[in-house]
């Protein structure tokens, strides 16, 4: 997975209009960054995360979407594996308001440098719940908070409306 070299600088309008880049690429400061293609474990985790949040959509007043473009800044568009949105906000075709949460599921091709850069973009946008799941690790749940990626097992806090053990998602793996 590398930055596309055929287009050293792509105008944002071209990225947004072209189906060539959707949903397999992100836009970072004029360059197209390809995303790793999901393998079975990767897509199984994506599906389990979606199932978990779908079960609670009405209760938690949320929407959950896979691979949805999120404009994290004027010159950066990221595509999280799963995005959890506040249902009370207007629907946007490309998300410009901080989602409730995002999930990135690691692929074997992911590098720590690249994933940390993405996580920093999400944090700068104001996303409070930023999660990374490593399918190759037992209990491979990590939360990015205050610019640090640390092992974590609980989503939210007891006083928040969305609060659960991350292993609940793991139970939904197919």
Residue with tokens 């072209």: 18
In a domain, 3, yes or no: no
- Measured CA to CA, the distance from residue 28 to residue 33 in angstroms comes to 7
Provide the number of structural domains found in the chain.
Answer: 1
21 is a domain residue? no
> Is 6 within a domain?
no
- Domain ranges, residue 66: 38-170
**Residues 74-93: tens digit of each pLDDT:** 999 999 999 999 999 999 99
Whole-structure pTM value: 0.88
Is 77 domain-assigned?
Answer: yes
Q: Is residue 16 part of a domain?
A: no
Determine phi and psi for 135, rounding to 5 degrees.
-60, -20
CATH label of the domain that carries residue 126 = 3.90.1570.10
104 is a domain residue: yes
What's residue 3's pLDDT? 43
Q: Is the residue at 67 inside a domain?
A: yes
CA distance 71 to 12: 11
Whether omega for the bond prior to residue 15 falls within 30 degrees of 0, making it cis, is no
């Amino acid at each position: 997975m590398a930055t596309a070299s055929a287009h050293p600088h792509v105008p944002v309008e071209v990225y947004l209009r072209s189906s060539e880049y959707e949903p397999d690429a992100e836009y970072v400061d004029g360059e197209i960054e390809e995303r790793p293609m999901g393998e079975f474990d990767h897509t199984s985790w994506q599906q389990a995360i979606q199932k978990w949040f779908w079960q609670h959509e009405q209760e938690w007043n949320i929407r959950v979407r896979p691979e949805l473009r999120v404009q994290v800044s004027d010159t950066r568009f990221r595509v999280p594996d799963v995005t959890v949105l506040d249902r009370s906000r207007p629907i946007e075709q490309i998300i410009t308001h901080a989602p409730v949460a995002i999930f990135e599921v690691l692929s074997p091709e992911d590098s720590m440098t690249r994933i940390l850069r993405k996580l920093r973009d999400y944090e700068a946008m104001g996303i409070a719940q930023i999660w990374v799941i490593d399918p190759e690790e037992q209990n491979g749940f990590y939360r990015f908070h205050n610019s640090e990626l640390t092992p974590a097992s609980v989503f939210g806090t007891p006083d928040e409306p969305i609060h659960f053990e991350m292993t609940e998602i793991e139970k939904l793996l197919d």
